[in-house]
Amino acid sequence: MSLVRCDGVVQIYRAQDVEVVALRDVDLTIAAGETVALLGPSGAGKSTLLWLLAGLLRPSAGRLWLDGADLGRLDQRRLDRLRATHIGMVLQNPARNLIGHLSAAQNVAFAQRAVRRDRRRARELLGRVGLADAADRPAGRMSGGEQQRLALAVALANAPRLLLADEPTSQLDEESGRRVIELVRDAAADGTTAVVVTHDPAVGEALDRTVTIRDGRVGAEGRRGEDFVVVGREGAVQVPPEYHHLLPPGSMARIEELQDGIALRRAEP
């Protein structure tokens, strides 16, 4: 069963009199328990998609479902409730996930306010991110790496159906990064679906599936080490950048029919 479904999602930011189309016609289905690495160049729209899935933004057009609920159409109270019970989020700037004057343990407890308080889970999570001895330290006094690990423990504190994490290993050394990946995979085994924006190849390799966003669209997907282009609405296909030397943007190609697909051959002008 799918936990997340995006159907023709468009996000347009309006700042003064300019409009930025951050996402255009994103179609994406994510199964319950699946772990997805969201890849793509900077400015492609990855964080925007994460914010939409978190219910922090409402799509300009198209629809998004989380666990059967249409996120764009819930009233604010229901959306807040769904977010507190169903979603755990790690924002890119780790300090923004935390309440600085509260201790690590209090931050985790606060994240459990909408669900049943579970001290054992809280302690276990702090241990899993290597902060067992830091439970009483104020979050605001921690290093960037410690805050990043604490932010993941906080995001998982309510045993969310959906974990959304933006670059959760960007400030971590290899060993801590590995523990973070392990924790995400273990959470998935317990039923938490994960969508992780990352530039870290180790994260991409460790998760079930990669989805590459380019220019606001789903351009490619990877599963078990194999990469595929995704045929979008109206048959649009993005030629991956590593083939631009053969088929540069703006070039014309001849289509050749094969038994099981088509080949594109550059037409000499």
- By CB under 6 A, the residues from 183 to 222 that bind ligand ADP are none
Among 1, 16, 17, 42, which residue interacts with ligand ADP (rule: CB under 6 A)? 42
Q: Which stretch binds ligand ADP (CB under 6 A): 41-49, 59-67, 134-142, 157-165?
A: 41-49
Report the length, in residues, of the chain.
Answer: 269
Using CB under 6 A as the binding rule, whether residue 96 contacts ligand ADP is answered as no
Instruction: Indicate the DSSP class of residue 71.
Output: G
> What is the rounded distance in angstroms from the CA atom of residue 44 to the CA atom of residue 207?
20
Residue 43 to residues 23, 195, 215, 217, Cα–Cα distance (Å): 10, 18, 8, 12
At its nearest, how many Å lie between ligand ADP and the CB of residue 9? 12
At its nearest, how many Å lie between ligand ADP and the CB of residue 94? 16
At its nearest, how many Å lie between ligand ADP and the CB of residue 205? 20
Residue 61 gets the label, from left (phi > 0), alpha (psi -120 to 50) or beta, of beta
Using CB under 6 A as the binding rule, whether residue 40 contacts ligand ADP is answered as yes
Q: Which stretch binds ligand ADP (CB under 6 A): 38-46, 95-103, 146-154, 175-183?
A: 38-46
Using CB under 6 A as the binding rule, whether residue 26 contacts ligand ADP is answered as no
CA 107-202-172 angle, to 5 degrees, is: 40
Picking from 166, 226, 192, the residue whose alpha carbon sits closest to that of residue 37 is: 166
At its nearest, how many Å lie between ligand ADP and the CB of residue 35? 19
At its nearest, how many Å lie between ligand ADP and the CB of residue 213? 6
35 by Cβ neighbours in 10 Å (0-12 / 13-18 / 19+) ranks as buried
At its nearest, how many Å lie between ligand ADP and the CB of residue 39? 9
| Dihedral over alpha carbons 78, 79, 84, 87 (to 10 degrees) | 140
Q: Name the residue with tokens 């189309």.
A: 21
Using CB under 6 A as the binding rule, whether residue 93 contacts ligand ADP is answered as no
Using CB under 6 A as the binding rule, whether residue 43 contacts ligand ADP is answered as yes
Instruction: Indicate the DSSP class of residue 109.
Output: H
Dihedral sign for Cα 209, 213, 214, 220, please: positive
Among 48, 112, 192, 212, which residue interacts with ligand ADP (rule: CB under 6 A)? 48
Residue 265: both structure tokens together: 């051959």
Among 6, 22, 157, 163, which residue interacts with ligand ADP (rule: CB under 6 A)? 22
Q: Which stretch binds ligand ADP (CB under 6 A): 28-36, 42-50, 102-110, 118-126?
A: 42-50
At its nearest, how many Å lie between ligand ADP and the CB of residue 48? 3
Count of beta carbons in the 10 Å neighbourhood of residue 176: 17
Interaction site with ligand ADP (CB under 6 A): 13, 15, 20, 22, 40, 42-48
